[in-house]
Structure 1
Amino acid sequence: MAGWGDAPSTAAVTVLIADDHALVRDGMRSLVAAVLGEVHCLEVDDGDALMRAARRHPGARLALVDLNMPGMERGARLAELAHVHPGLPLVVISALTSPDVVRRTLDIASVHAFVPKSAPSVQISAAIHAALLGHKLPFAHRAPQARRPEVVLTPRMEEVRQLLRQGMSNKLIARTLGISEGTVKNHMSEIFKALQVSNRTQAAQLDAERL
């Protein structure tokens, strides 16, 4: 794992991590390494530093960006970054999740996902995979709670359903979780049965928390 002063190896993927909280950056760095393997992380803590890092490292493959850190003007600088570096895939990770903020952010062509800071790690992992593959994920709105009998899903089934909520296909879910597409289909069938639903849309929208 490299920092600001180290030169990345030829095999390492360069990722920009932009957040003004060191603990958040530490978590993102660990998660990126878990998803991508050998990685060269460049960490910045404000909008100006992010712009400089993107300019100095044109080969960066991905940027994880907090909208609300200093110098981002509550996200306005994101459009500038996308304009100057249109080939840099962006994943926004933010506590600002109002519908207008989410819509304006996802309208930016190089933003591939908007992930709330409260999201589980599997959702961030899915966003990283999608960005590197050139896919754009819809924002995972939390559906209103629907009363159902107590539902118990295995941890793996919960992961599959979380990725399903991101609008991912079975193929992309399989790639994200490192399992076969056939296994994803089997999990999907079990999820439908457990939630008492008949299709992917219902499974994604239904709140399966214990009542």
Structure 2
Amino acid sequence: MTQQPHPCCVAVSAEDITVLIADDHALVRDGMRGLVIEVLGEVGVIEVGDGDALMRAARTQPPARLALVDLNMPGMERGFRLAELAHHHPGLPLVVISALTSPDVVRRTLEIPSVHAFVPKSSPTEQICAAIGAALRGEKLPFAHRAVEAQRPEVVLTPRMEEVRQLLRQGMSNKLIARTLGISEGTVKNHMSEIFKALQVSNRTQAAQLDPDTL
């Protein structure tokens, strides 16, 4: 029996529609595929697990009508390559579904014209459904800041960690930071590890670029 579209979503014809699902976890892709079929009916689905595969899949013909993209999979540089995807494929509506929900990440992502919604991975099905519908209608879905911020733990950096981070923002190496603060380079590395964990980032560039007003 043919799967009927979900009642909470926009009515579209499933014929010739392809949806691109990009996430590095197979279980997540399986869940998203099931949701897409529940929402839209028996559409075509392309699944990829990293940023490079996403860029290749976006060039397929006929083009996908919608892409559901995780920011934090390999090859996405924690979302910074999303702008590249949007630049080369401005007609591809994007819905970002991500565990990265800092205000700076959300703001930067929603500034991309072809991103129609930003949905935390912890969101209920109805919110993802609404995002899919908005993207297919060409609408921009507002982000529920308060709901996400209430779930985020408060970011706390010790005074020493903040000193290290400020020197990092000046472009200093670990060796130079150690010399400036009069501590060992190993201690600086330990502070860096704790800073990355607190800010939910994975490298020096992201730690330096993160908007300090969001801490």
Instruction: Give distance in 1, aligned partners of 2:127 and 2:27.
Output: 19
* Match of residue 52 from structure 2: 48
Whether 2:140 is the aligned partner of 1:136: answer yes
TM-score (norm 2): 0.61
Who is 1:186 aligned against? Answer: none
State the one-letter code of the partner of 1:120. Answer: P
Kindly report which structure 2 residues correspond to 1:1-211, keeping only aligned pairs within 5 A, or say none.
11-142=15-146
Deviation at 1:30, TM superposition (A): 0.4
Which runs of 5 or more residues in structure 1 are unaligned?
2-9, 146-211
Cα offset for 1:92?
Answer: 0.1
Task: State the TM-score, normalized to the length of structure 1.
Answer: 0.62
Asked if structure 2 preserves the Cα contact closer than 8 Å seen for 1:113 and 1:136, the reply is yes
Between 1:136-145 and 1:24-33, the stretch displaced more is 136-145
Opposite residue 96 of structure 2, the aligned amino acid is V
Offset at residue 58 of structure 1 (A): 4.6
Pairwise CA distance, 1:59:
2.0
Question: What amino acid is aligned across from residue 54 of structure 2 in structure 1?
Answer: L
Cα drift, residue 37 of structure 1: 0.5
Alpha-carbon distance in structure 1 between the residues aligned to 2:63 and 2:50 = 20
Please list the CA deviations of residues 71-112 of structure 1 after superposition, one character each: whole Å capped at 9, or x if unmatched: 000101100000000000000000000000000000000000
Question: What code does the residue aligned with 2:84 have?
Answer: E
> Number of matched residues?
137
Equivalent position SS for 2:58: helix
Query: 2:34 is aligned with what amino acid?
Result: S
Structure 2 CA distance, aligned partners of 1:26 and 1:105? Answer: 24
Contact 1:12 1:38 in 2 (8 A): no
Provide the C-alpha distance between the structure 2 equivalents of 1:134 and 1:47, rounded to a whole number of angstroms.
Answer: 24
Counterpart code for 1:96: L
**Aligned-CA RMSD value:** 1.7
SS in 2 for 1:142: helix
Q: Which residue is 1:185 aligned to?
A: none
Max Rg structure? 2
